[in-house]
Amino acid sequence: MVGRLHTLGTQSTKAPDLFDRLGTALQQSKSESKFKITKLAPDLEKIFIKDFTNSPWYRDFIKRSGGEKPDIGPNSDYDYRGAWLDDLINPVSQDKPNRTLDLTATGPNAHGYSKDSRGKWLKNPQTHNTSWKQWYSEITGSDPDEYNVSREDAAAIIKGHIEMRKPQDDTWGPSKPAPTKYY
């Protein structure tokens, strides 16, 4: 199984959770930000393959995964080409202080971002085993790794956020106008 570290999936043996439902909704939408593998022109594809397979990140991935190579095929759950292209088009600057996928990085924290600089998903939100962290960060404004939050705890925390935003009195009738806004 190529790319085992990135293709374990999310909830294959459990009922779909909040993050599975968010990922499915995004992928079924017409949003330009949904996950899709980037297709490169042949000349750029050659440069990408050379840069990618000769990088310290690539060698470290193989070492940490027990000899397995990252899946860069059409069924990959991470858009390595999109991340590489984003760094090529939008290099590190004051507005973008980090690389989308730092091919010089190694070790357990060497990973690519969930989205590119335009907001397009690079991790498949339906299958990538850490895509839920992006949803959590966007909804709560905090990093789940900083507080050691598990996927299950994150779903419960977000559900709590949603419940807290509902109006206290959720009942209305003919004598009571419907609320104009939910928070």
* Average pLDDT rounded to a whole number, residues 5-34: 76
φ and ψ of 78, to 5 deg: -135, 135
Q: How confident is the model at residue 51 (pLDDT cuts 50, 70, 90)?
A: very high
147, 154 Cβ separation under 8 angstroms:
no
Distances (CA, A) of 65 to 18, 104, 177: 29, 18, 59
Collapse the DSSP code of 16 into the 3-class scheme (helix H, G, I; strand E, B; otherwise coil) and give the result.
coil
Distances (CA, A) of 38 to 33, 59, 64, 80: 12, 22, 26, 8
114, 134 Cβ separation under 8 angstroms:
yes
pTM for the model stands at: 0.79
pLDDT of 12 above 70: no
- pLDDT at res. 108: 85
Among 30, 31, 33, 19, smallest CA distance to 125 is for 19
Task: Return the sign of the alpha-carbon dihedral for residues 162, 10, 26, 79.
Answer: positive
Q: How confident is the model at residue 4 (pLDDT cuts 50, 70, 90)?
A: very low
- pLDDT at res. 8: 37
Calculate what percentage of the chain has a pLDDT beyond 90. Answer: 68
Residue 99 CB neighbours (<10 A): 18
pLDDT tens digits for 102-152? 999 999 878 899 999 999 999 999 999 999 999 999 989 999 999 999 999
Distances (CA, A) of 17 to 60, 63, 73, 145, 149: 32, 32, 27, 19, 16
- pLDDT at res. 170: 55
pLDDT tens digits for 154-175? 999 988 877 776 666 555 455 5
- pLDDT at res. 171: 56
- pLDDT at res. 109: 79
pLDDT tens digits for 71-112? 999 999 999 999 999 999 999 888 888 899 999 999 987 889
Residue 50 CB neighbours (<10 A): 10
- pLDDT at res. 5: 36
* Average pLDDT rounded to a whole number, residues 6-11: 40
Dist. CA 82–CA 87, nearest whole Å: 9
